[in-house]
Amino acid sequence: MIRTAVIAAFAAALIQLVPNSAAAQDAAELAAARAVLLQLQPRSFAENLEYCGYVGRMPGGRLTATEVSRGDAWGCLSRADESRFVEIVASFHTHAGFDTAADSEVPSTDDVRGDMAEGTNGYIATPGGRLWYIDGVRGVATQVCGLGCMGQDPSFVAGDSGPIAQRYTLQELQMRER
């Protein structure tokens, strides 16, 4: 039994030393989503509307964003033309302006379910300036960066949404929404 544990620990250490080509792809995906969301945040706050779209891979491999679609204060459905992409790799959207009636500092269950249904990752910028990553396969939302890292709605009130975890499963978000 001890020998099995030692072998497992050694294998885990080796896995961490092997270069992961997906990490570079993930960094490019994050950079593309973050760049467009940083541009959208001030307009989203000023108009109290969600803005959304997709990050896709062009035929040459470069990642870029679709045209941005405007939603309402509670949601957004992309109407962008994705036909120029080889594949869609991620969705992105803002969470509009600060509203005490909305739990907008975390992804909603609809956000997570939507990315899971499409089989894509997702990125969400909040009124408090957080950036969230949604793993569209596992249904897990993880905070990429905290308060203020993506700009902040001038009317935002820190702490209004209660404690915010670094990571939520779909089930944990369902419990939070109750």
What digits encode the pLDDT tens for the residues 77-130? 999 889 999 999 999 999 999 999 999 999 999 999 999 999 999 999 999 999
In a domain? residue 93: yes
**What is the C-alpha to C-alpha distance for residues 104 and 147, in angstroms, rounded to an integer?**
13
Q: Considering the entire predicted model, what is its pTM?
A: 0.85
Return phi, psi of residue 58, to 5°. Answer: -80, 165
Answer whether 115's CB lies under 8 Å from 84's CB.
no
Count the domains in the chain.
1
**Host domain of residue 108:** 21-177
In a domain? residue 14: no
**What is the C-alpha to C-alpha distance for residues 27 and 13, in angstroms, rounded to an integer?**
22
In a domain? residue 15: no
Answer whether 50's CB lies under 8 Å from 76's CB.
yes
Residue-wise pLDDT for 2-24, tens only, equals 433 333 333 333 333 333 333 44
Burial class (CB in 10 A: 0-12, 13-18, 19+), 80: middle
